[in-house]
Amino acid sequence: MKVVLFDIESHFTPAVMEEAMDLVRETNEYDLTQPEEGFYHFISRQPDYHVEMAFKSDGTVSAKCQCTVFKRTRQCKHALAALLMLRDHILRSRRAKSKSKHENLLLDDVLKKMTVTELRNFISTHAQSHSAFRAEILANYLHLIKKPDYHHLLLDMTPMDKFGTIKLNRNNLKTVRNIIGTLLRQAQQLLKEKALSETFQILEATLHHLYRLSIKVPQFQEQLYTELRLALRIFDTLCHQSMAPRLQHSAFVLAMDISGREGYTFLKGTKPLLLSIEPFILEEKSRLAAFQLAEKKAILDSRQQLSWASIVMRWMRLWDIRSTGKPVKAVLNRLMPDILQELSRQGDHEDVIYSLHFVQTDTYPKTILKGMLQAGLRAARQTGDRALVSRLAYQLSLSYLDTDAWDILLETDHESAQRILKVVKEYYAPATDEVADQLLLRGWSATGDKDELLGRLNAIGDMNLLIRFDDQLKTSHRTQLEDVYATHIYATREAYGGVIARQKLSNIFGHLKSIDLSAGVAEKLKLMDKKNKGGTGPQAADIRGFVFDLDGVIVDTAVHHFQSWKIILKELGADITEEDDHHTRGASRMESLEYLLTRYGIKLTHEEKEMWAAKKNEVYLEAIEQITPRDLLPGALAFLIDTRKAGLKLALGSASKNARGVLKKLAIEDRFDAILDGNDAKESKPNPEIFTKACEALQLDPAEVVVFEDAAKGVQAALAAGCHAVGLGDPMALKEADIVISGLDQSTPTLIIEQLS
């Protein structure tokens, strides 16, 4: 029998073909050999048959079987089956071999002239039972025809049951991915040739299909993402070309359509579709539509909320759109720290800076807020916005004592960096805050301010720190340095005695030798041994008077002071925090205002400061308007009475100019021998002035006086005046006090005197 090998089907009826196909399926063991050019030998074992075939150059092939049916009728199902298998074999080996360029060109030429129907017919004729092969040919050549239908091709090759459910398994997944891979290679090639519209057609179909598959068959998502990533990258490159408006519009529709789907996923390492098309979303209507989509997703797509929220933020800046909905605002507010980090990670510096405006400082914990400001500082440096760099670095250095930020500030704004050191020095007593100490030491060492450096090191009293910095000081401040070491060694010896002291000091001795200070220090120690005997601190047994602070000790007006500042600073555009309370407590009105203005970088003239200070007082007075003796703090009145009974003198030492008015409301003004208030002292606590004056008024030596204070600054002022200090409140914040109690109801005057002795 003789047939055209690539057109076998047209020679036989479907019934005969079917019979042969059945046999092909049954034949699972056979040998197909080519003993000589154009001649094939087919021997099957299971079931047993034997066909010889000769291939002519005109594409026809004649077959001869050994069976009786063939001998009788010159054709049989065996011969036909063998031919089908031969055709399969030839196609396979052809596919395996890469075709020569020349062959490809010829084929391209032929295919270019065909319509899609002709192409399909051609393919189904020549590759009937090989759908993967057929699809591959289509994938390779479909772009050559006028209206290529990629959707159809992709659907066609995706296995589905009769209900339209996609039936992918490991095997056919490979085929599907191959075809898509081929299409994407075509797209890349077309893009290179600047065939933008053709490229888009392929991408449109593949993107749709890939997203559909990855949603419908999630178990293969990871594999499909490989092609999806490639498709997205090509799409992004396409969008960077100068596309015709109509094509841009189609890309917009595609991106909106896919992004809007439930289950749409942002793929790591790729640009979101909507951002690829962003450059040509120019009309207000389209912008609004895209923005609303992002907003909707930011609320609903909980899995990818952050990415959507970042896009919303970006478009708010870029397109100057305001988000109105409360739920979106809530999402943005909640995610703001992460949004900032995300934008920062992506290098979207302008978006970071823009987003900073939306940060509501009192919503986030301190450490998070710090992270946000740091992201802002990075962005500001990248964009070269010096003013912003200096503002953020200032804020970070001052509020968070961030040494890195301070270094940056020193680079950009020397004067401000110096100011920070001044403020921090003023507000953090030595050794009360390790971070503040670190900042100051590093700062002064960078600015070369050696007096300050040594002063602080001495006051902190940590020899390990001194060892770290003394190299810079040993030439200019040799004697002082020797003094500091000698004093420390002397005190350690006094406290621990010989052996233990030697152990504790061994590293210091070693260090002193290495920097050649041993001899000087030893000399100083000798002198000290001669001179120093006994302590000079106030003797507790001599106590003859008590001085009480007012706000926070006798009456709980400290909260009203703080609340009033909060209201005032809000009007000035800043949200003050609990920590600021620590700094304003005990400080005079103007001192407190100065601190807050510096802290929040607000600049005012002298007159304005006076005005705001007065305003604060108005708010405060209104808050305490209703105060009565019932507002005395627990145990306060009893403590005052017992003090008098114990034969001690009493004074009030408050920084408040309102003190007398408050005492009047509390009906205790005549319980004191002397009343000193904010009008009596020029200097604010921690300056000792107010307590020194109180002692004078009581005609007592400061060593005979105990001061009761709720503010760290007050405790420092008392000690600086030479008085004893009892702290009321947080033992950590008041750790410098001789004794700390939680309130006056927790002790008695006699107990205090006993404890101090």
209 CB burial (10 A radius; 0-12, 13-18, 19+): buried
Nearest-approach distance from CB 709 to ligand BG6, in angstroms: 10
Nearest-approach distance from CB 389 to ligand BG6, in angstroms: 33
Residue closer to ligand BG6 by CB (options 145, 712) is: 712
Query: Which amino acid belongs to residue 657?
Result: K
Distance CA(460)–CA(466), nearest Å, equals 9
Residue closer to ligand BG6 by CB (options 336, 558) is: 558
**Among 69-77, 107-115, 435-443, 551-559, which window interacts with Mg ion (CB under 5 A)?**
551-559
Strands 60-65 and 545-548: unpaired
Active-site option among 551, 581, 680, 710: 551
Find out whether 247 and 200 touch, Cβ atoms under 8 Å. Answer: yes
Closest CA to 675 of 544, 545, 543, 548: 548
Nearest-approach distance from CB 540 to Mg ion, in angstroms: 24
Residue closer to ligand BG6 by CB (options 337, 586) is: 586
Number of residues engaging Mg ion in binding (CB under 5 A): 5
User: Choosing among ligand BG6, Mg ion, none, which partner's interface includes residue 587 (Cβ < 5 to 8 Å by kind)?
Assistant: ligand BG6
Nearest-approach distance from CB 648 to ligand BG6, in angstroms: 22
Query: Which amino acid belongs to residue 582?
Result: H
Q: Is the peptide bond before 47 cis (omega within 30 degrees of 0)?
A: yes
Known catalytic membership, residue 549: yes
Query: Is 551 one of the binding residues for Mg ion (CB under 5 A)?
Result: yes
Distance CA(298)–CA(300), nearest Å, equals 6
Instruction: Tell me how far CA of residue 726 lies from CA of 365, 548, 549, 695, 729, in angstroms.
Output: 32, 10, 11, 16, 10
Question: Cα-flanking dihedrals φ and ψ of residue 31, to 5°?
Answer: -115, 130
Residue closer to Mg ion by CB (options 437, 549) is: 549
Nearest-approach distance from CB 423 to ligand BG6, in angstroms: 17
Find out whether 561 and 598 touch, Cβ atoms under 8 Å. Answer: no
* Other residues' Cβ atoms within 10 Å of the Cβ of residue 636: 21
User: Choosing among Mg ion, ligand BG6, none, which partner's interface includes residue 588 (Cβ < 5 to 8 Å by kind)?
Assistant: ligand BG6
Residue closer to Mg ion by CB (options 295, 738) is: 738
User: Choosing among Mg ion, ligand BG6, none, which partner's interface includes residue 654 (Cβ < 5 to 8 Å by kind)?
Assistant: ligand BG6
Candidates 549, 591, 680, 704: give the one binding Mg ion (CB under 5 A). 549
**Among 320-328, 550-558, 633-641, 685-693, which window interacts with Mg ion (CB under 5 A)?**
550-558
User: Choosing among Mg ion, ligand BG6, none, which partner's interface includes residue 143 (Cβ < 5 to 8 Å by kind)?
Assistant: none
Q: What are the beta bridge partners of residue 44?
A: 30, 49
Sign of the torsion formed by the C-alpha atoms of 193, 196, 197 and 201: positive
User: Choosing among Mg ion, ligand BG6, none, which partner's interface includes residue 657 (Cβ < 5 to 8 Å by kind)?
Assistant: ligand BG6
Nearest-approach distance from CB 695 to Mg ion, in angstroms: 18
User: Choosing among ligand BG6, Mg ion, none, which partner's interface includes residue 702 (Cβ < 5 to 8 Å by kind)?
Assistant: none
Give me 284's structure tokens: 């207000």
User: Choosing among ligand BG6, Mg ion, none, which partner's interface includes residue 309 (Cβ < 5 to 8 Å by kind)?
Assistant: none
Beta-carbon contacts of residue 572 (< 8 Å; ≥ 6 apart): 597, 600, 602, 612
User: Choosing among Mg ion, ligand BG6, none, which partner's interface includes residue 332 (Cβ < 5 to 8 Å by kind)?
Assistant: none
Strands 49-55 and 39-46: antiparallel
Residue closer to ligand BG6 by CB (options 175, 557) is: 557
The DSSP code sequence of 92-106 is HHHHHSPPPHHHHHH
User: Choosing among ligand BG6, Mg ion, none, which partner's interface includes residue 355 (Cβ < 5 to 8 Å by kind)?
Assistant: none
The DSSP code sequence of 427-448 is HS-TTS-HHHHHHHHHHHHHHT
User: Choosing among ligand BG6, Mg ion, none, which partner's interface includes residue 658 (Cβ < 5 to 8 Å by kind)?
Assistant: ligand BG6
Residue closer to Mg ion by CB (options 239, 659) is: 659
Nearest-approach distance from CB 524 to Mg ion, in angstroms: 41
Sign of the torsion formed by the C-alpha atoms of 719, 721, 725 and 730: negative
Distance CA(77)–CA(69), nearest Å, equals 9
Distance CA(246)–CA(241), nearest Å, equals 14
Known catalytic membership, residue 542: no
Q: Is the peptide bond before 686 cis (omega within 30 degrees of 0)?
A: yes
Nearest-approach distance from CB 578 to Mg ion, in angstroms: 16
List contacts with ligand BG6 (CB under 6 A): 550-551, 558, 561, 584-589, 592, 617, 654-658, 678, 711
Find out whether 461 and 431 touch, Cβ atoms under 8 Å. Answer: yes
Nearest-approach distance from CB 709 to Mg ion, in angstroms: 6
- Write the interaction track for Mg ion spanning residues 709-728; mark x where CB under 5 A is met and - where it is not: -xx-----------------
Residue closer to ligand BG6 by CB (options 558, 663) is: 558
Question: Cα-flanking dihedrals φ and ψ of residue 560, to 5°?
Answer: -70, -35
Active-site option among 351, 413, 470, 549: 549
Nearest-approach distance from CB 586 to Mg ion, in angstroms: 5
User: Choosing among Mg ion, ligand BG6, none, which partner's interface includes residue 416 (Cβ < 5 to 8 Å by kind)?
Assistant: none
Closest CA to 685 of 725, 716, 645: 716
Instruction: Tell me how far CA of residue 512 lies from CA of 70, 228, 468, 518, 521, in angstroms.
Output: 113, 68, 12, 5, 8
- Write the interaction track for Mg ion spanning residues 691-710; mark x where CB under 5 A is met and - where it is not: -------------------x
**Among 22-30, 118-126, 541-549, 613-621, which window interacts with Mg ion (CB under 5 A)?**
541-549
Strands 705-709 and 674-676: unpaired
Residue closer to Mg ion by CB (options 257, 736) is: 736
User: Choosing among ligand BG6, Mg ion, none, which partner's interface includes residue 373 (Cβ < 5 to 8 Å by kind)?
Assistant: none
Half-sphere exposure of 494 (CA within 13 A, CB side): 13
Closest CA to 140 of 117, 119, 115, 118: 119
Chain residue whose CB lies nearest Mg ion: 552
- Write the interaction track for Mg ion spanning residues 492-531; mark x where CB under 5 A is met and - where it is not: ----------------------------------------
Nearest-approach distance from CB 702 to ligand BG6, in angstroms: 20
Beta-carbon contacts of residue 236 (< 8 Å; ≥ 6 apart): 270, 271, 276
Nearest-approach distance from CB 620 to ligand BG6, in angstroms: 6
User: Choosing among Mg ion, ligand BG6, none, which partner's interface includes residue 617 (Cβ < 5 to 8 Å by kind)?
Assistant: ligand BG6
Closest CA to 662 of 642, 681, 636, 693: 636
Residue closer to ligand BG6 by CB (options 305, 584) is: 584
Distance CA(385)–CA(95), nearest Å, equals 60
Strands of 724-728's sheet, edge to edge?
A: 674-676, 649-653, 545-548, 705-709, 724-728, 739-741
Q: Could you report how far apart the first and last alpha carbons of the chain are, in Å?
A: 127
732 CB burial (10 A radius; 0-12, 13-18, 19+): exposed
Residue closer to ligand BG6 by CB (options 297, 713) is: 713
Nearest-approach distance from CB 632 to ligand BG6, in angstroms: 16
Residue closer to Mg ion by CB (options 594, 710) is: 710
Distance CA(650)–CA(644), nearest Å, equals 7
Binding site for Mg ion (CB under 5 A): 549, 551-552, 710-711
Catalytic annotation, residues? 549, 551
